[in-house]
Amino acid sequence: MLRSVAVARIKQGLAFRRNLDDVCVGALQEAQREFEIGTTLPWFLIAKDQSLLTVADTREIALPTDFIRFVEDEGPRYVTTDGVLYFALRPFAELDYYYRSTDSGAPAALALRSDSLAVFPLPDAEYTITASYYAKAAVLDSDIENLWLQYFPDLLISRAGMIVAGDIEHAAAEQKFSAKYDMWLKRYFSEMAAREDSNAPHQMGVNN
């Protein structure tokens, strides 16, 4: 669904308002920001197996600009000559103390900073760290379809409608959007729960 269609849907819920396009766009963007800082993030925001490159004699490597957080149990990791090494992210101060007297070399531990990863020990060459992370969807600053409008348009529209209706003090519209939001939020969490369950290991029954 394109942004323009989502805006039209919001205006329809506001008794077919003919204005407020910019307000509706701003509300869609606000709703997206709200969803992307949630405790639970959806599968469709996962950026699989992205490469992050270290730089020799440089402690930190920048995180992607769309980075939200790493996917649990899917990174970051460094492929050694013996296989795949998974990193457990540790506090910066702890790693700084532990590796203070260690020579530079291949990555062995990582600390998550505000917009970068700190690599320990200090890299002595370029290494590829692979990670799956949740990435922000494209911002709706033009008439595009982003991932939210592709997978859960009604969730985004109903939340944005609540925001607009509240701002213009349209109680009836706010109540209507709120009811739709509650319904779609339940479906949203149900779908994520179903996907997590389908990916979980299941033990086969044993016949005696």
CA distance 27 to 38: 17
pTM of the predicted structure, to 2 decimals: 0.88
Alpha carbon of 147 to those of 17, 27, 85: distances in Å?
26, 16, 31
What string of pLDDT tens digits covers the 208 residues of the chain? 999 999 999 999 999 999 999 999 999 999 999 999 988 999 999 999 899 999 999 999 999 999 999 998 887 988 887 777 888 899 999 999 999 999 999 999 999 999 999 999 999 999 999 999 999 999 999 999 999 999 999 999 999 999 999 999 999 999 999 999 999 999 999 999 998 877 655 455 544 4
Strand stretches in the chain, DSSP E: 46-53, 60-62, 67-70, 77-80, 83-86, 109-112, 116-120, 128-135
